[in-house]
Structure 1
Amino acid sequence: MIYRLTLLLSLWIGYGSAPEAGETTGVAVGSKEFTESVILGEIAAQILESATIDVQHRKQLGGTRFLWQALIDGEIDLYPEYTGTLIEEVLGDRLQGKRDLATLRRVLAEQGVSMTEPLGFNNTYALGMMTARADRLGITTISELRDHPELKFGFSNEFMSRADGWPGLRRAYRLPQQAVVGLDHGLAYRGLAGGRLDVTDLYTTDAEIQYYSLRVLEDDRGYFPDYRAVFLYRADLAERLPAVLPVLRQLEGRISEKEMTAMNAAAKLGKVSERKVAADFLRKRLAIASEAEVEGLAASLWRHTLEHLSLVAISLAAAILVAIPLGILCARRPRLGRLVLGATGILQTIPSLALLVFMIPLLGIGAWPAVTALFLYSLLPIVRNTYTGLQNIPGPLLESADALGLPRFARLRLVELPLALRTIISGVRTAAVINVGMATLGALIGAGGYGQPILTGIRLDDTGLILQGAVPAALLALLIEGVFELAERRLVPKGLRG
């Protein structure tokens, strides 16, 4: 019954179209979740493509630690980074207080990582305020913030915990502000413009600085180091694909701060795709022709739908195959059942982002960590409903089955499961709907799906892109509700329906 449906679902959607983001025979380029990193990743990918090198760009994968670990583990081959981030956040303990590039290269080599020469611009951290607000309070430097403890601070989530972020800045400047909130970097600008925030962290090449008329506060104590943009790459890349490095080094010293700011503005304010922005730069600055075909809405929607269905179908099918036997076990062995229900309940309480990160060391980045996390979240509603459905079968019905001399397995198959089927299907339906929503987070680790346009839309402040992911996800959840409603009518005997 439900197992046949599960098998068909897996074969039709899951195994036939499971996204394998981690597989590439060429170069895997990574980028962080902010626009500038995506643009630099696109520039690297396209300049390599122009040299007929097979490239896969795995966009907006996460923060610094995520990309660094992916590079160390071989999940990606190169990604754009900043010298200040390496010195202060990634390798601070190993550098023993030294900040020169020679020491940085030596310590990177010990990790099996190499670094290009700087690309030509410095994108350091800064603090910013709306200019009108800063003028009213007479604030031009970070030190002057000490005199205004009432100001509302809101920083990007990564800046809140970085070694070179808010904790160190607060100590260096002895700032009194305590109620500081963490939020997405792009949303902070809207918070400033709307008056909900007074101060946030900036990247000095952000296009929004001019767009929102922000004042960049002077770092009068020289807290922030230089953040020269570079590309980090695995040391074994030179041996594996020797053609890559000469091509990549064409970018050294070729991107000015003005050019980088203009590219950020084109992507974030002009709504030009990062791929086209990168192609325009390569054509104008290096005379390199690069194809910049932008995926159409229909093709993009179809691809994200297949990716999303794959994540949901595979995880749900696996959960059904595991959870229903566990629910039967819970009904048969009450003491063991309490442990199983408790364990699946604990899994449900683990924050989804944390669970995804926990999966990465075991399964890498891409679809399978997301599938595994969704599988674990699906267990509780199916186990619990299977257990509840079997427990709620009236005793006289079971006694009648025993009186007929049915063996235990036959009684389970012919009597108990049909009587509990309506409750079991309800649990599967709950798990499926939960999975549709949770699967959007898989985009954070390169799993694709409807989360991809949602994340991109948030980053670019593009409501249309957000809706391209949110609306289909909601419609898919409604469709699944309808499918399981039909399945219940088809599989549950007419006399057992409500």
Structure 2
Amino acid sequence: MKPTRTIFAALAVSVLALAGCGGGGDPLAEETAEAPNGSDAPADTITVGSANFPEAVLLGEIYAGALEAKDVKVEKKLNIGAREAYIKGLEDGSIDLVPEYTGVLLQYFDEEATAAKPDEVYTALQSAVPSDLTVLEKSSAEDKDAVVVTQETADKYKLKSIGDLAPHSKDLVLGGPPEWKTRPTGVSGLKEVYGVEFKSFTSLDVAGPLTIAALKGGRVDAGNLFTTQSAIAQNDFVVLDDPKLLFTAQNVVPLIVKDKASDTVTEALNGVSANLDTPTLRDLVAKVEVDKQNPAAVAEEWLTQNGLS
């Protein structure tokens, strides 16, 4: 029951098409590991970037709209790629601000970090970010990585938690974004924390249509999705429990170049964090992923409803 090469080629084209309207980017392209460009962002402007999946694009639109409501000049370079790409953009000055997640960002800057609970992770992150960057207030909204299987696979192997994969994993294929090959929350973390070592790893996309199709079609046995994704309920996928907290607290937080974090900018972005919770984020993501609404329009509606626009 493996999808044909033609189907996967068509899906890849669909992903590229989404890039033009604020959806996911092309995670299989070599460019996803590169910075957006080397030109500096204007000194009087906040250039907002984001990762290349719908929720990140939506959050980038929310940040941009909140800043514009405070009469801050904004440029958008959304849908850049993986963390390894947009961090380069922050470093080279081509972007100033990105929506991030506390746990994975902490592990990016400090691979030895052990904090797992929300406040502990946030405190550690504040010390771990480079001196020219800063994180503003975190929201209560959280979206974690998850190892997901189909209901059929869960029933076949009696899977409830990630550790339950261990006796069977040498016969199973894991799918996820290319960077999962090396990230401590990916292949290596699953082996180290849970003793789960898969037969092979298939590079797909960032929790997008390729991963969903690969799970549904049997090309992979387990895949990486995000806990707020509508596709989990739509496809009756099973999110495996993570009792050892491989995926630590992942609160949405603004990561910004410190020199651009003026009082006005900080107030606007902290206002977003104060009003954003997990159920709200899940609902907003569904409007983009399921209802196919424009992320900018969804962002504007939410900002208006919360007095932030």
| 2:49–2:86 Cα contact (<8 Å) kept | yes
CA–CA separation in structure 1 for the residues paired with 2:178 and 2:291: 25
User: How far apart, CA to CA, are the structure 2 residues paired with 1:143 and 1:184?
Assistant: 24
> Aligned ranges for residues 356-375 of structure 1 at < 5 Å?
none
Secondary structure at the residue paired with 1:227?
Answer: coil
Matched, 1:120 2:120: no
Aligned counterparts of 1:150 and 1:103: Cα–Cα separation in 2 = 38
The aligned residue for residue 268 of structure 2 is 247
Task: Look up the SS of the partner of 2:140 in the other structure.
Answer: coil
Tell me, yes or no, if structure 1 residue 225 matches structure 2 residue 244. no
1:8-47 → structure 2 map (5 Å cutoff): 24=42, 25-47=44-66
Mark the CA change 1:142 to 1:150 in structure 2 (over 3 Å): closer, same or farther: same
- Once residues 277 and 115 of structure 2 are traced to their aligned partners in structure 1, the CA distance between those partners, rounded to angstroms, is 26
Contact 1:141 1:219 in 2 (8 A): yes
2:71 counterpart residue number: 52
- 1:126-145 deviations in whole A, cap 9, x for unaligned? 11111233123321111111
1:134 aligns with 2:157: no
The match for 2:88 is 69
2:164 matched residue in structure 1 = 144
Tell me, yes or no, if structure 1 residue 207 matches structure 2 residue 226: no
SS of the residue aligned with 1:169? helix
Shift of 1:46: 0.6
- 1:236 counterpart SS class: helix
Structure 2 CA distance for partners of 1:88 and 1:275, relative to 1, 3 Å:
same
Higher strand share: 2
Aligned 1:253-402 pairs, distance under 5 A: 253-284=274-305, 286-289=306-309
CA shift in 2, pair 1:231/1:131, >3 Å:
same
Shift, 1:270, TM fit: 1.2
Residues 86 and 92, structure 1, Cα contact 8 Å, conserved in 2: no
Structure 1 residues 98 and 126: CA distance shift in structure 2, 3 A: closer
Do the aligned residues in 1 keep the contact of 2:143 with 2:251 (CA within 8 Å)? Answer: yes
Report how many residues are paired: 265
State whether residues 45 and 55 of structure 1, in contact with CA within 8 Å, keep that contact through their aligned partners in structure 2: yes
Per-residue deviation, residues 361-415 of structure 1 (Å, max 9, x unmatched): xxxxxxxxxxxxxxxxxxxxxxxxxxxxxxxxxxxxxxxxxxxxxxxxxxxxxxx
Whose radius of gyration is greater, 1 or 2?
Answer: 1
CA distance in 1, matches of 2:163, 2:185: 17
CA distance in 1, matches of 2:172, 2:110: 33
Question: How far 1:220 moved relative to its partner?
Answer: 2.9
The aligned residue for residue 24 of structure 2 is: none
Amino acid of the structure 2 residue aligned with 1:122: E
Q: Is the 8 A contact 2:103 2:250 kept in 1?
A: yes
- Structure whose residues are more often helix by fraction: 1
Letter of the 1:220 partner, please give it.
P
Note if 1:190 corresponds to 2:218: no
Distance 2:127 2:194 in 1: 32
In structure 1, runs of 5+ residues without a counterpart are 1-18, 290-498
Q: Deviations over 1:214-254 (max 9, x none)?
A: 1000113322211111001111113xx54211111111232
**Pairwise CA RMSD:** 2.1
Q: Where does residue 180 of structure 1 map in the other structure?
A: 201
Deviations 1:254-286 (A, max 9, x none): 2111111111111122111111111121122x1
Q: One-letter code of the match for 1:228?
A: N
Secondary structure of the residue that 1:72 maps to in structure 2?
helix
Cross-structure match for 2:30: none
- Does residue 237 (structure 1) correspond to residue 255 (structure 2)? The answer is no
Structure 2 gaps, min length 5? 1-36
Matched position secondary structure for 1:275 = helix
Provide the residue aligned with 1:90 in structure 2: 109
Cα distance, 1:179–1:107 mapped onto 2, change above 3 Å? closer
Q: Which amino acid aligns with 2:245?
A: G
Q: Which amino acid aligns with 1:134?
A: A
TM-score normalised by structure 2 residue count: 0.79
C-alpha displacement at 1:54, in angstroms? 0.9
- Indicate conservation of the 8 Å contact 1:266/1:272, yes or no: yes
Residue 98 of structure 1: how far off its partner (Å): 5.4
Identity of aligned residues (%): 27
Residue aligned with 2:79, SS: coil
SS at match of 2:81: coil
Mapped partners of 1:272, 1:53: distance in 2: 25
